[in-house]
Amino acid sequence: MQALLRLVERRSEAKDNKLQIPEVEKKEFTEATGRVWDDCDKLIVLAKEGVPGYVVRKSKQWLELMKDAVKELEEWDPEEDVDDNDLFGDESSDNEAPASSSETTHDDDRAAISAGVKVQALKVLSRIPQSIHVVIKQRLEKRINDQQISGNETARLGTILKQTRQISELIDESAEGMYMGDLESCLKKAGKARAITIQVVESVSQSASEIETKEDKYVKRALEWIQQVDPGGVPQGQKTALTSRPKMIV
């Protein structure tokens, strides 16, 4: 906006209104106009839907990303990943010696441990989107028609949106740790995602009504649902099995 206003001001100062703008500044003018135009479009949408509506829309976007990440991890096969990274596969040259039994055993152990950690992580990660869905459905969407909300409520909604984004990013990082063989990081990120999810659900668990409503019961169940699981950590023996690879014989 500042860049656009500077150029508009320069042009308005020209007496004959025929100020020649250098090509470099023309490009800057066009880019600034495009950015402001795009921001104005977003502001129009925000003005129409209000803060609650905006929070619901963005939260749903992050929720879909969570679901996609969890689905991809569910479909990931640790054994196929070990085979893809096998240096002694079918494409190896005739001069290379076949893998020793210890190396084969190590790969089998690695795949088995990865599969076990995957199950452990998914016990947590698969419940997170369901808990966030309840928050959106039973709390955020109930406020979508509220055009006037307090400053404290706006700040609270902003915190929920920020936390929802953090959860989505942590799920991605947890899955990445799984793919990269960093199982400790996988479980650690899953634990962080769970902890923030609990914070989000707890923040909306209190109802304005003294009588427990149907929506309150859903939120309560969502909180219990995510609290029941804990990713824990990778046992020391499993860490050793993953990091101690026998030397290759070529």
Summarize pLDDT for 105-164 with one digit per residue, the tens.
555 567 777 888 899 999 999 999 999 999 999 999 988 887 778 889 999 999 999 999
Domain assignment present for residue 20? The answer is: no
DSSP track, 103-159: HHHHHHHHHHHHHHHHHHHHHHHTTHHHHHHHHIIIIIGGGTT-----HHHHHHHHH
Burial class (CB in 10 A: 0-12, 13-18, 19+), 131: buried
Domain assignment present for residue 4? The answer is: no
Contact 192, 168 (CB under 8 A): no
What is the reported pLDDT for 245? 40
Contact 110, 82 (CB under 8 A): yes
Domain assignment present for residue 105? The answer is: yes
Domain assignment present for residue 229? The answer is: yes
141 lies in which domain range? 50-87+96-243
Domain assignment present for residue 25? The answer is: no
Domain assignment present for residue 32? The answer is: no
Q: What are phi and psi of 96, to 5 degrees?
A: -90, 140
Domain assignment present for residue 28? The answer is: no
Most confident of 18-32, 82-96, 184-198: 184-198
What is the reported pLDDT for 188? 94
Domain assignment present for residue 125? The answer is: yes
Query: Which CATH number fits the domain that encloses residue 193?
Result: 1.20.1410.10
What is the reported pLDDT for 233? 56
Tally the domains of the chain: 1
